[in-house]
Structure formats: structure tokens, C-alpha cells
Structure 1
Amino acid sequence: MGKLVILKFGTGNFAKGFPVTLQIGAENTRPSSEVTGELPSEPELPLIFNRWQAIYRNLDLSVRPLGLPKSAPPIVSVEACNQVARELHDRLNQWLQAESFRPIREKWLEKLQPAETIRVILQTSELQLQKLPWHLWDLIERYHNAEIALSTATYEQVHYSADSTQSVKILALLGDSRGIDTQTDRTILEKLPDATITFLVEPARKDLTDQIWEQNWDILFFAGHSSSSGMSERGRIYINSAESLTIDELKYALRKAVTRGLKLAIFNSCDGLGLARSFADLHIPQMIVMREPVPDRVAQEFLKYFLEAFAQDEPLYLAVREARERLQGLE
């Protein structure tokens, strides 16, 4: 049986630091170990992240958000982006090796073995914490069967009715495709074994909501343009060339889908952290999103690698890690 690790961040900020609680236990059981620690003040870390993000988003990439035209020249170099990325990696790990955080690190090393399958949940509603590249934490890199995911500070388990059918039912929404290739996403999905897939290509709003309401779905998939805006960075998806929707505008249909057995939402689109935050209130069990804009090919290769691993009964978290690590060849 795999292990579940929960890192709970208390109220704080980068100027003052964060109290942190670590819980460790077997999957589907109560935690057997708990320890508290603290991450100290580190006001430079979000500034380094913001600097990396600004450089990255000014690279000449063919990405999935609606934004600069492809003809816009590169403003910065890839090497400059990589240099700040290395600085971010080093500063993050220095922070996580602070003496006040040592009890958490030592409990992790005491209770977890590198060969174990480990699901790590980082529980916080602090947006800047959610943005950090936690997969670069040296403990995650050392434990090859561990993967980290985000959760809000509060959550609720939803009880749903199980569907007796063996075939996985997928609702695949191919939204506004201006400047990107969503046909490749469709081709990848069509190769998935033991799946019944309904494709909606640039649907009208009513057609989309009717499909969500009228059938039971295991997986909701979206490919197309998405964005986040506002201080809370709430997410928006572009379902066709003329219409876009916030997740709030789909909440009743999606809540119904969750009670009917929706288990996973995959958004193969950019700037997905706002989507994830918007979905938090709907209590979908698992979500996969892109936190930053990525090139079209990267989004497609991630989907292919993930589905290949997932179809071979790899745990969802490890399928995500394998797909992410296989993308290194495209860097």
C-alpha cells in the first residue's frame, strides 16, 4: 500500500514565514505520524519566481493562451531563462533546508523509504506558494516514486454513485483552437484503450452544459485556450471562437457530474492554476493542469506520455511524474 504525505501550511507570508504540519500515513487510513515545523522568512523567493515567470513568458514560444502573435520577436534568451530557473531551484531548496524546517525533513527521512509509492499533498490557499516548482524539492527528486500535488487549505469529500460499466467514459471538449492544433489531442485520446469518448468540437455553451448534465462521466478533458485573471486568478476557458466561460458559470453542471462519478479533470491548456483554484469549490477528486503557458508540442507530448502510463495501470500521480520527466528531451 502506498503512503500519503500531507504538508499543511498555516497562516503566514514570505515576509514572516509559514508554520507547517507534516502528516504521514498509509493511503486510505488516518495519519500515523505528525510533526510541526516552520519555514522562515524568505521575501526574495517570490521575487525570483516573478522574475523567472516574466522572462519565460517573453520567450518566443507557440503556446496555448490567447496572447502575443506568433510573429512577435523573442525579447529574452532561453539561457537567461534557464539561469533564473537554476537560481529559483537553489533558493527554494535552501529555504526547505532551514533549521526550523528540520523536524519535518527528519520525520520524512525516518518514515518514508525511497522505493515506496508516495502521494504528497501540499495543502495551502496561498497563491504564491502554489506557484512554486515543488517538484524540484530535493526530497521529491530523491524519492523517484513520489509526486507532489496541490490542495486548498479546506476540502470536502464528495460521495458519488458508482457506474458499473467497465469502459471509462470521457467527455472531451476541444475548444477555441485559433493558432493551436487540438486535432493532435483528439488523435492521442482516440488511441486510449477501454474508453468511450464523446468529442465536443467548439460547442455552443448550451450544448456543453447539456452533455455534462445528461450523462455520467469519469473524465472531463479540455484542450484549447484558457486564462486566469484578477487578484484571485480565477480561470476561464474559451469553448469556441466567440464564447468563453468561467468555471463558476459551469458550477451546477460540474457539481452534478461529481456526484455522478466524475473522478478526473484534465486541462491541456495554459495558465491552468486559476482553473484549479476555481475548481476547488467543486471537489473534483483529481485535476491535471498546466501552471504556465507551454508550447503546443509540449502540451501534446505530456498528454501522450501521461495516457500511455495511466493506461498501463500506473498510479495517476506517478503517471504525471513520468510524463513530466519525459518532457526533459523537449527543453
Structure 2
Amino acid sequence: MTNFKLKVQQFGQICVFELSWGTGQQLSATLNYPESLTTFYQEWQRVYLSYYKSGLRGWIEDSGSLTSPPIDWHTKLVQAEAKFLSEFHHWLRSAELFEIRAAIAKHQNLEFIQPSRIKGDKHYQPINVFLTCSSIELERLPWEAWEIGAEFSKVGTIRIARTPLNIHHSTNSKPQHRSRKARILAILGDDTGLNFKGDKEAVRSLSRIADIEFVGWQPGQNIAELKASISAAIADECGWDILFFAGHSNEMAMTGGELAIAPNISMSIREITPQLLLAKQRGLQFALFNSCSGLNIAASLIDLGLSQVAIMREPIHNDVAQEFLLRFLQGLADYRDVHDCLLLACQHLKLEKNLTYPSTYLIPSLFCHPKAVLFQIKPFGFKEQLKQI
């Protein structure tokens, strides 16, 4: 399997794309960044927030506008998305990037598993592109929607994952095989204006293949005790495979992102960094934040050495978050890796739910440590132990 690393840096109105792969191969391209792309993104974001104005898993400032006549926000959002993506794709189809696109697409026809190893026809392995952006403004763009191989003879799948600019800690590059159920810690945060019933049911659907523990705020609970219980749960000596969070969250670069754990009470990633490092040492590989504006959160956790982190880059509606989670966890239950799970969930939002939840398929992203193996739940039991002998 070929892994590409693509770094995109912005210097004023100039963007530099640097692609590297294999045994030292690399390409570089320079092109102008169109201001119109920022304008179309901001307009799309404005309409998106207006359509999903209630039930969001994040904090959105009220514009304070006066009552106005009814607006068809659905139609406006569909139009804003079309204009935004058209400008984004036009930029990425620039002639300056042709050599980079061609180098990636070329491997679609080279990476396959011989038919004897699986049932049926040839199975082409996905090409992984690990994308690093130099600014959060670039990170906000929906790079996962880039159809890199569209102009070439397409056979395989190109998967775009994200990698933060800075990573200080190593990861568990060869996770230990555990002859037990996977362990999941589910943290339920502040539910003001939200309903976690769907999240709980979706997570509990994995009880056949995973041991699950819930922790979170209860009415009347002392905040100091709540923070202590969450911290202790993360650092549990038995270790976790998956960390899940549902609730309100927000970007906060100085503290690594914020999680609302109770009404008007937040906990930053920096506050629980020691516990997260312990959890990583004890087996934690993957985290899923089913909450809003998670770019800082994902970057912080990959920086600590977690293998993969799935987040929502923008505010996400409560119903959409639960729809996404259900499909994502169905993939995990089928023993798929987390990248495939995310792509399947996004595909479901795009093809089956786009009339109800327009634009939401553009929101999820997977951040990866470049040296980590993609996490997937492994079958367990006596038969599986025999296979390891």
C-alpha cells in the first residue's frame, strides 16, 4: 500500500503543495490562493449555520438580527454548497497541480491484492493521502471532497486523512493484540438543548464485541467531583481502546480545544493531558468526538500520540451527529477500519440523507498519526486465539 504525504502551506496569496512518497520521491507546486474561495466558504458557512440554527453541538453567537420574513434556507444551502465546491474543485484542478494529481492517481491502478487472497475479483487497495495544512483556515476546507483521480482512469479508492502540523509524541505503531472484548469509554457532556438517547443506543449496539462504560454529569453533581471522575475514568488501569465524547465542544488553540462537561462548565484537553498520555500507554488508540468544531481537539490528541481521531470540523446538528454515529459504529461492528467507517458514514449522509441534512457529509474528518496502523475492532474468542498460535 502506498502512502502519500501532502503538505499545503499558505504564504499570503500563494499556496505551496509538497507531495512525498515511496523511497524519497517528491513533487512541489506553487499556485495562487483565490480570495473568492474564502468568500464562498464564508457564505456557505453562514447559510449552513442558519439552516441548522438550533440543536447544534457547539456554541454559536446569536447575530441579534430582527425578525425577518421566512427564508428557504434549504435551497440557499444547496446553492451555497454548489458554488463553494465548484470554486474549490476549480482551484484544485489547476494546471499547476496536474503532476501531483497524476502521481497519486497513477497508483490507483498499481495497488491491488491478488484474487487468490480474497473471494471474487481483484480488490484494489486504497491509496492513503495524509494531508497537513499550515493554517486552520486551510484546515477548514473540505479536502475529503477532492476527487483527485477524476480526470484519470480511476479504479481504486483515494482516501484523504489529516495530519497535524506538529506531533511531539510517538504512537503505538504495533498495537498489542488483545484476546478480549474491545473497551470503550463514553463521556457524555453537557446535554443542554441536546438529547443523547441516540448516542447511548448506538454505542450500546457494540456490547456484543465491546465492554462499554459511561461517565458524565448528573444533575446536582459537584463539578470538582465530576472532573475527578472523568479524569480517573480516562486513566483507568485496565485501559481503553476507544474514547468517545458526545456533547458541546469548541475550538480553543491555547488549551487544545474545550469540552462542555456540564452546564456552563468546560474542561480543556490540556487539563486532561496527563490522563490521556496514561490512557495511550495502556492501549488507547482511537477517539471519536461527536461534537462541534473539533479541529484543535484532533490536533491535540494526535500530538499526544493517539493513532486516529474522528471529529466534526464545523458545528453539527444533534440529529445529524446521531445519524453519523450509528453508521460509523455499524462499520466498526463489521470489523472495518476507522477510515472506512468514516467514509461509509459520510457516504450515507451524502446519498441517503442529503435532502434532510444537506452539506453534512462535508463535515467529518479523520486525523491520523502518520506512523499508526488504522484502528479496527478485532474479533475475539477461543477460535481467534487459535489463529494467533
User: 2:7 & 2:155 partners in 1: Cα distance?
Assistant: 20
Cα separation, partners in 2 of 1:75 and 1:247, compared to 1, 3 Å = farther
What does residue 252 of structure 1 align with?
274
1:101 partnered with 2:116:
no
Larger radius of gyration: 2
Q: Deviations over 1:101-123 (max 9, x none)?
A: 11111111222239332322102
1:1-331 → structure 2 map (5 Å cutoff)? 2-9=1-8, 11-13=9-11, 15-23=13-21, 31-32=22-23, 34-44=25-35, 45-59=37-51, 60-67=53-60, 77-113=73-109, 115-139=124-148, 145-155=157-167, 156-159=169-172, 162=176, 164-192=178-206, 193-202=208-217, 204-215=226-237, 216-229=239-252, 234-328=256-350, 329-331=352-354
1:131 Cα shift? 0.8
Q: How far apart are residue 229 of structure 1 and its match?
A: 4.1
Q: Cα offset for 1:14?
A: 5.6
1:288 Cα deviation after fit: 0.5
Partner amino acid for 1:153? L
> In 2 relative to 1, CA 319–39 (structure 1 residues): closer, same or farther, beyond 3 Å?
farther
TM-score, normalization: structure 1?
Answer: 0.87
1:16-66 per-residue CA deviation (whole Å, 9 max, x = no partner) reads 22132242xxxxxxx247231324112322232122112211223422113
Q: Secondary structure at the match of 1:6?
A: strand
Give 1:163 shift. 6.7
Q: Distance in 2 between matches of 1:171 and 1:327?
A: 26
Alignment deviations for residues 147-183 of structure 1 (CA, whole Å, 9 cap, x no partner): 2121113334224873734210111001111111112
Q: How far is 1:234 from its partner?
A: 4.3
TM-score, L = length of structure 2: 0.75
CA distance in 2, matches of 1:126, 1:309: 32
* Whole-Å separation in 2 of the counterparts to 1:309 and 1:109: 26
Give 5+ residue unaligned stretches, structure 1. Answer: 24-30
* Kept after mapping to 2: 8 A contact 1:35/1:107: no
Consecutive unaligned residues in structure 2, runs of 5 or more: 112-123, 219-225, 355-389
Structure 1 residues 233 and 136: CA distance shift in structure 2, 3 A: farther
- Tell me how far apart the structure 2 counterparts of residues 323 and 302 of structure 1 sit (CA, whole Å): 6
Q: 1:247 to 1:140 in 2, by over 3 A?
A: farther
What is the alpha-carbon distance in structure 1 between the residues aligned to residue 145 and residue 6 of structure 2? 16
Q: Which amino acid aligns with 2:15?
A: G
RMSD: 2.6
* Paired amino acid for 1:174: L
Amino acid at match of 1:260: R
Cα distance between partner residues in 2 of 1:39 and 1:310: 39
The separation in 1 between residues aligned to 2:138 and 2:294, in whole angstroms, is 15
Helix, strand or coil at the partner of 1:271? coil
What amino acid sits opposite 1:3 in the alignment?
Answer: T
**3-state SS of paired residue (1:12):** strand
Q: Give, as a single letter, the amino acid of the residue that structure 2 aligns with 1:173.
A: I
**Aligned-pair distance for 1:68?**
6.4
The number of aligned residues is 319
